[in-house]
Amino acid sequence: MVFDMQIIVSEIPDNGLEYELDIPVALLNEAVRNTVHVYIEIQKFGDKVLVKGNAKTKLQVACSRCLKESPYPLDISFDIEYIPLAEFSDIDEHELRKTELDISFYKDDEISIEELIKEQLLLAVPMKPLCSPDCKGICPECGKDLNDGACECKTEKIDPRLAVLKKLKK
Ligand SMILES: [Zn+2]
Ligand SMILES: [Zn+2]
């Protein structure tokens, strides 16, 4: 079965579509395509389209403290209802917010599976990823990775209260 990244809504058969495959998706960097293993089920109800499934990949994510890149496995599930964009204006926004469903919109009879996968995976990437919860980061003075040991810089700022204690001890 040939997989098209663009689903043509009017061509979705009554019994739906189901795919399991690897697709290359540019996630964090347009120049790098990550292979994403995708399982997806597509069902059409009138002009509504239900897309559900899961996606797995491994990203190289830079630690927000030490900037070292490490593999970050992603394994997400999604369950999204697509409605035609034009119909949106007819829906009470209040009603829309009350529902727990993920709602998305399509226009021109097309749904981009690549966009969907990309969006869902990026939502799962933490804003400030860490290589480990106790990562020490890099020294702001010399740039040494403090996880490999302390540097020679005298950057430690002495708490004024501790400074007083030190004086008292003398
Ligand atoms: Zn780190
Ligand atoms: Zn340093």
Tokens of 132: 């480990």
Q: Within a domain: residue 22?
A: yes
Q: Within a domain: residue 1?
A: no
Number of separate domains in the chain = 2
**Distance between CA 165 and CA 156 in Å, rounded?**
16
If asked whether residues 12 and 83 sit together in one domain, one would say: yes
**Domain membership of residue 52 as a residue range:** 6-135
For residue 129, give the ligand nearest its CA.
1
If asked whether residues 128 and 145 sit together in one domain, one would say: no
Task: Write out 66-131 in H/E/C secondary structure.
Answer: CCCEEEEEEEEEEEEEEEEHHHHHHCCHHHHHHCCCEEEEEECCEEEHHHHHHHHHHHCCCCCCCC
CA angle 20, 24, 25 (to 5 degrees): 110
Tell me the pLDDT of the chain (170 aa) as tens digits: 445 578 999 999 999 999 998 988 888 777 888 899 999 999 999 989 999 999 999 988 899 999 999 888 999 999 999 999 875 566 565 555 555 568 888 988 999 988 899 889 988 888 899 999 999 999 999 999 999 999 988 755 556 666 666 666 65
The whole-number pLDDT of residue 2 equals 46
For residue 130, give the ligand nearest its CA.
1
- The Å distance, Cα 151 to ligand 2 centre, comes to 5
If asked whether residues 71 and 151 sit together in one domain, one would say: no
Is the pTM of the predicted complex or chain greater than 0.85?
no
If asked whether residues 27 and 14 sit together in one domain, one would say: yes
Question: Residue 55: which of 28, 76, 41, 79 has the closest Cα?
Answer: 76
- The Å distance, Cα 138 to ligand 2 centre, comes to 8
Supply the DSSP symbol for 152: S
Residue 89's CB is within 10 A of a number of other CB atoms, namely 7
**Distance between CA 102 and CA 119 in Å, rounded?**
12
**Distance between CA 39 and CA 20 in Å, rounded?**
4
